[in-house]
Amino acid sequence: MAERINFPVTKREGLGKGANRRLREQGLIPGIFYSTTGENIPVTTETLPFAKLYKTVGKTTVFNLDIEGETKPCMLWKVEMHPFKNRVQHIDFYGVDLEKEVSVKVEVKLTGASKGVKAGGRLEHYRDTVSIVGKPELLPSLITVDVTEMQIDSSVYASALQLPEGVRVVYENDFVILRVVPGRAATTEDVAEEAGKKKKK
């Protein structure tokens, strides 16, 4: 298991919109650390270091939050962006118990070129993300689906996603993630084939 990233933050005293606005004017980002014991600690961090952290860990990787020398394992829970500027407004750091399961959403990424699409079908991707459950350090940053062998009319269901042992997809009823459906070219071929069968009768 890879060594966890250590990310330092500073406690902050001022709360409310005015105090948060002054922090942002200084190039700082206000945030809250929500601990597993129910204690909420207001913190602040610099913009550039946080941007690097966010790019590395996303919302599924556990890292150590260093609050003025006190280290807490946590994950990024919510990153609030400015309505129209490319700027982080607020961060929710979520303390985790490494032995207890958590639920997060992860991206479903497709790789490969489907044989069914090459034959004239069309790939329909219904879910870009899925919710998964598992212990924090087992969670993948994304789920990869290789579509190379998918033919026309083949589907990938949530239950078939490849996940690390101990991690599962959340659903009440199994659902389709993606499907290769007949495209215009495939439909034309099917019609021609069916017409040929009728002539032989």
State the Cα–Cα distance between residues 63 and 125, nearest whole angstrom: 32
Supply the pLDDT for residue 72.
93
Query: How far does CA 25 lie from the centroid of its chain?
Result: 30
Per-residue confidence band for 198, with pLDDT thresholds at 50, 70 and 90: very low
Give residue limits of the domains in the chain.
6-95, 102-195
- Considering only CA atoms, which of 61, 78, 84 is closest in space to residue 137? 61
Torsion of CA 110, 116, 117, 119, to 10 degrees: 160
State the Cα–Cα distance between residues 64 and 7, nearest whole angstrom: 6
One-letter amino acid at 62 equals: V
Whether 66 contacts 9, CB under 8 Å:
yes
Q: How many residues does the chain have?
A: 201
Q: CB under 8 Å to 179, separation ≥6 — which residues?
A: 123, 124, 126, 153, 154, 155, 156
Per-residue pLDDT reduced to its tens digit, 63-101: 999 999 999 999 999 998 888 888 888 999 999 999 999
CATH code of the domain made up of 6-95: 2.40.240.10
Q: Is the dihedral of CA 103, 107, 110, 111 positive or negative?
A: negative
Tokens representing 45 are 């961090």
Specify whether domain 102-195 bears CATH 3.40.109.10.
no
pTM over 0.85: no
CB burial of residue 108 (10 Å; 0-12, 13-18, 19+): buried
Task: Check pLDDT > 90 for residue 183.
Answer: no
One-letter amino acid at 72 equals: K
